[in-house]
Structures are given as structure tokens and as C-alpha cells.
Amino acid sequence: MSAPRRFTGDTLVIASHNKGKVREIADLLGPYVATFTAAGELGLPEPEETGTTFIANAELKAKAAAAAGHVALADDSGLVVPALNGDPGIYSARWAGPAKDFAMAMRKVEDGLAGKADRSAYFVCALSLAWPDGHVETVEGRCHGTLVWPPRGPHGFGYDPMFLPDAHELTFGEMDPARKHEMSHRADAFRQLVERCFR
């Protein structure tokens, strides 16, 4: 395996069209990067997520943005529910539909769990950093927990209000964002990526 490539520039393109994610990524990587710009601000299109894994989708989103000429970081993430055979998984955003209705998506998860004893779930976050010459560095982080109903808390985004991380009493939706950043799947992935590419 070749040595990891380090990020040496000062501007990083965040290849995501999800505002919640862009905010979390800028929080987590703030100490290491001078300037962030988001794919949407550069007018980059949202590529179709044709991969069958989180890693494949993170890499295709990062490579598509880097082709415009700047180092780009993509995040592909989702909620994996073993009792639903891994759904919504890579389809987590798509379950919320074009209106990004996560109240509906959470209800769909809860409906699927009706009568099932196993309410465990985990979030996955694949991060891919891509250079214009096609080089990529990719890591994957996880966070395990259980699903509660009804959803609780105003913070975060997506499925956060129904996700209770292991050994905690507050859902990601109830937690202060700084606490979520200490234990989330995204924090786990960023610890690995910072180690490889940013310090």
C-alpha cells in the first residue's frame, strides 16, 4: 500500500449539497483548513449516487467535484438497521424523498420495526478526499446505538431525533452539536482522515 497523500492546499471543496453535513464537516475540519467552499456555491451538479456501498458513493461524489480543479471532500453516510436487512443504508437520503421529509423517513423506519425486538442501528460515514489528478483517500466511521420512538430533540438533521447512541441518555437530536461531534460516525471517520491527510 502506498503512503497516504496529505492535503497541502488552503481551499477545500465540500462536495455535498446537504447543509447539515456541510456545517458539521466545517466544524470538524475547521482547525486544519483555511477556507471551505461548498459544491453548490461553485455551481457543481449533484452526481447520481450509483454505487452500491457508502465508500463507492463517497468516492464518486469526491471525484466528480475534484474534476473541476480543486481538492474535494465528499461524505456518504446513512443509517443501517439490521432488523430491516440494512435499510435504509445507502438509501437513507432517498427514503426522505425529493422534499427531504425526514419525519416521514423516520416513520417508515419505525413502521418497519413494528413487532421486532431488535431496535439496534448504526450510522456509517464514508469520507473520500479526491485530488484533480484522480488520487483518492477514503475512510469509514461508525456509531452504534438504538432507535427510539417518538423522535426527540431539535438539533442535528436527518434521523438524529430517533437515534440514541450506546451508553447515552440523549438522542443525537437532543444533544448539543459539540457532544454529537465527540462520538458520531462522522467524528470517527474524521479522526481517521485527519490522521492520514491533515496533520
Ligand X SMILES: O=c1nc[nH]c2c1ncn2[C@H]1C[C@H](O)[C@@H](COP(=O)(O)OP(=O)(O)OP(=O)(O)O)O1
Annotated binding site for Mg(2+): 48, 76
Residue range at the interface with ligand X (CB under 6 A); choices 28-36, 71-79, 114-122, 146-154: 71-79
Provide the minimum distance between the beta carbon of 59 and ligand X in the complex, in angstroms, as a whole number. Answer: 12
Cell of 34: 483555511
Provide the minimum distance between the beta carbon of 144 and ligand X in the complex, in angstroms, as a whole number. Answer: 13
Q: Give the chain as a DSSP string.
A: -PPPPPP--SEEEE----HHHHHHHHHHHGGG-SEEEETTTTT--------SSHHHHHHHHHHHHHTTSS-EEEEEEEEE-GGGTT-BGGGTTGGGTTTT-HHHHHHHHHHHHTT-S--EEEEEEEEEEE-TTS-EEEEEEEEEEEE-SS---SSSSTTGGGEEETT-SS-TTTS-HHHHHHHSHHHHHHHHHIIIII-
Is residue 77 involved in binding ligand X (CB under 6 A)? yes
Judged by CB, which is closer to ligand X: 22, or 33? 22
Q: Which residue is nearest to ligand X (CB)?
A: 158
Of 32, 149, 157, 198, the one binding ligand X by CB under 6 A:
157
Provide the minimum distance between the beta carbon of 107 and ligand X in the complex, in angstroms, as a whole number. Answer: 15
Name the amino acid, one letter, at 110.
Answer: E
Judged by CB, which is closer to Mg ion: 95, or 190? 95
Is residue 59 involved in binding ligand X (CB under 6 A)? no
- Would you call 101 a catalytic residue per the annotation? no
Of 38, 64, 127, 159, the one binding ligand X by CB under 6 A:
159
**Binding residues for Mg ion restricted to 74-133, rule: CB under 5 A:** 93
- Rounded CA gap, 45 and 198, in Å? 27
Of 78, 145, 151, 165, the one binding ligand X by CB under 6 A:
78
- Rounded CA gap, 81 and 193, in Å? 25
Is residue 55 involved in binding Mg ion (CB under 5 A)? no
Judged by CB, which is closer to Mg ion: 47, or 153? 47
According to DSSP, the β-strands at 136-147 and 163-165 are antiparallel
- Active-site residues, by number, are 76
Positions touching ligand X (CB under 6 A) are 16-18, 21, 46, 49, 75-79, 92-93, 123, 156-160, 172, 184, 186
